[in-house]
């Protein structure tokens, strides 16, 4: 085997085995960093969205109160309750 053939064989084997292994190594090493960056961006953008959602819920509660569909606004903050324990305020005419 000549030197040129040996170099070509090493290059072909290196490309067929080395590139996929390098890609997998990079994927598994960079995945935690990318996920942490995505969570950071979501946390930064989520603060404004959370306030907008609170304003929207307040507006909807006000509309329900204006139309007489809500007896009262719950006096306890909803964050204290699990979703299954949220108080449901329903008038008698709305019950089935």
Q: Would you write out the chain's pLDDT as a tens digit for each of its 96 residues?
A: 799 999 999 999 999 998 899 999 999 999 999 999 999 988 887 777 778 888 999 999 998 888 887 766 555 555 565 655 555 555 555 554
Q: What pLDDT sits at residue 28?
A: 93
Domain boundaries, the chain: 3-71
pLDDT at 22: 92
- Name the H helices within 14-81: 19-66
Rounded alpha-carbon distances, angstroms, from residue 36 to 30, 40, 43, 49, 85: 10, 6, 11, 20, 33
pLDDT of residue 78: 56
CB 94 within 8 A of CB 88: no
**Which secondary-structure segment (H or E) carries 7?**
helix 3-13
Q: What is the pLDDT of residue 68?
A: 81
């Amino acid at each position: 085997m000549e030197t040129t053939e040996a170099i070509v064989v090493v290059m072909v084997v290196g490309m067929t085995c080395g590139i996929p292994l390098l890609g997998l190594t990079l994927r598994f090493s960079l995945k935690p960093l990318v996920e942490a960056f995505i969570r950071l961006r979501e946390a930064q953008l989520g603060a404004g969205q959370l306030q907008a959602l609170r304003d929207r819920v307040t507006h909807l509660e006000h509309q329900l109160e204006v139309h007489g569909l809500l007896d009262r606004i719950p006096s306890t903050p909803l964050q204290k309750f699990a979703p299954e324990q949220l108080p449901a305020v329903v008038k008698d005419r709305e019950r089935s």
